[in-house]
Structure 1
Amino acid sequence: MAIADRTPYQCLSVTEAASLIRVEKDIKVFDVRDLQSYQQEHLDGAMHLTEDRLPLWLNRIEKDVPVLVYCYHGNSSKTFAQMFADFRFERVYSVDGGYRPLANALAEPVAGQEIRRGLVDTELEAFLKEWNFDPIELNAPREHGLTPLMRAALQGQREIARKLLDRGVNIQARNDDGNNALWLACVSRNEGLVQDLIDAGIELNNRNDASSTALMYTASSDRPELTRLLLEAGADPQVKNFDDMRAVDLAASVACLKLLRHTL
């Protein structure tokens, strides 16, 4: 694409970006810092983005949905913003100043406007109470080392999981068996929930205490729809467990075997 044909993106100050996030209900916010920094802290609802995952989003977001990108200081975010703009997204923004100043701006009270994190959610409140979770510390584990996100994943409660993801819970936490929420969402067979966790940047190749991955689980439990989803997201089919077996060696059905045949 010629430079002259490029759709421009817009650079925003952190104050402008904070205002946009507050008023645009459907805005997609992307964090393009390294995964470790994202896992340590990020804006509520922000999704981790790397260049290799960009094509997934280009095909998933409508062109008229506003897209906002932030990084450490406002440099790398411009590169990603231009990529979205090159694909004719109509409203693309890069944040000058980066994550920390933007987080500080969002934390400041706004007269006459409720901050999203402060809103009372009766459905989430009821879920936390039902499972005896701490309503303040949303990463605190309970029975079997399950956090609220893990419990929601295991029960297949996608909307509850989304509410927790929006509140920036730790998606990389592991339970007493070493499984993360992705494995538990695969147990519930909720494809939408699995996709939400993938989009949020959960570790696809997490190995539990038996050195097994979610891909191994879906293959061995005859869940071809989830096996396909994990492979398309980039799960590594070559990982081996303690018995020196890969997902293809554990495949419980012809459907799963066909999906993994390229690894034979």
Structure 2
Amino acid sequence: MAPAERIPYQCLSAVEAAALIRAEPELSLFDVRDLHSYRQEHLDGAMHLSEDRVPLWLGRLPKDKPVLIYCYHGNSSKTFAQMFSDFRFARVYSVDGGYRPLANALAEATAPDAAPSAELAAFLDEWRYPADDLEARGQHGLTPLMRAALQGRREMVRELLALGADIRARNDDGNTALWLACVSRDSGLVQDLIDAGIELDNRNDAGSTALMYTASSDRPELLKILLEAGADPQVRNFDDLRAVELAASRACLKLLRHTAD
């Protein structure tokens, strides 16, 4: 008996992959970078995939549904795409160039047409951000969203989120708008960012998370919000310390006591 014909996977450019993501609601999207990078940032709807979990998905997914895989630069994704193709998945795609070009292509494709309000325009002008670039970087690498979060400008943050500002962006220290909102102590603003899907366990350049910051700076009201949203208290910073070991007050320690063991 002749062997079954191999079904080849296809390589797509970032622009082609972005178009596929928008057009295929049943697409299975996989991120095959290391878990730390995935937790730092990933595409909406992307599932982390490691080699040891491939058999699980091979047995779970319908073989007639599309599968799109991205990695750092478009090399490892080909290896994973071949695995799916070898098991006769009909439509398997690897993204040339990897995560960053694909994320940029998706951002450009979904850029909103709405103009900023007069208040937001004045804010952008005050901080010398270009009026047509919501991802522009200012002092310390802060985007407009980060700057508004740092200042506790909740309505400004809400407008920027509605206009499509990138909640995954990190400043020069590796912090996202969530950390900066915690600095502002505005619990409503923190909740808005959580509701928008911001990464809860982003680790900055010191390996610290927003949860660690709220514990170490005695912000129990924000610590509680983060814990209830699912922030991981077991994450360790680069000094091998968890949030419970950084708690600056009895109130924070009480909230984290169940994580001490």
Normalised TM-score (structure 1) = 0.57
- Larger Cα-atom Rg: 2
> Deviation per CA, 1:141-179, whole angstroms, max 9, x where unpaired?
111000000000000000001100001111010000010
Partner residue of 1:159 out of 151, 155, 158 = 155
Q: How does 1:105-184 map to 2 (within 5 A)?
A: 117-184=113-180
Q: How does 1:213-232 map to 2 (within 5 A)?
A: 213-232=209-228
Partner of 1:208: 204
Partner residue of 2:254 out of 242, 250, 258 = 258
> Deviation per CA, 1:122-142, whole angstroms, max 9, x where unpaired?
000000000011111101111
Gapped regions of structure 2 (runs ≥ 5): 1-26, 32-40, 48-105
Question: Structure 1 segments of 4 or more deviating over 2 A?
Answer: 32-36, 39-42, 116-120
Aligned partner of residue 160 in structure 1, secondary structure: helix
**Partner Cα separation in structure 2 for residue 148 and residue 33 of structure 1:** 32
Q: How does 1:23-172 map to 2 (within 5 A)?
A: 117-172=113-168
Aligned partner of residue 225 in structure 2, secondary structure: helix
Cα displacement (A) at 1:117: 3.6
CA RMSD of superposed structures (Å): 3.0
Give me the identity figure in percent.
67
Aligned partner of residue 260 in structure 1, secondary structure: helix
**Partner Cα separation in structure 2 for residue 34 and residue 195 of structure 1:** 27
Aligned partner of residue 228 in structure 1, secondary structure: helix
Q: Name the amino acid aligned to 1:190.
A: D
Q: Name the amino acid aligned to 1:236.
A: D
Partner of 2:191: 195
**Partner Cα separation in structure 1 for residue 169 and residue 29 of structure 2:** 18
> Deviation per CA, 1:110-129, whole angstroms, max 9, x where unpaired?
xxxxxx84345100000000
Partner of 1:13: none
Q: How has the CA–CA distance of structure 1 residues 208 and 133 changed in structure 2, closer, same or farther, with 3 Å as cutoff? A: same
**Partner Cα separation in structure 1 for residue 231 and residue 210 of structure 2:** 9
Partner of 1:75: none
Cα displacement (A) at 1:244: 0.7
Partner of 2:237: 241
Aligned partner of residue 238 in structure 1, secondary structure: coil
In the comparison of the two structures, how many residue pairs are matched? Answer: 167
Normalised TM-score (structure 2) = 0.58
Q: How has the CA–CA distance of structure 1 residues 170 and 120 changed in structure 2, closer, same or farther, with 3 Å as cutoff? A: closer
Gapped regions of structure 1 (runs ≥ 5): 1-31, 43-47, 51-102, 108-115
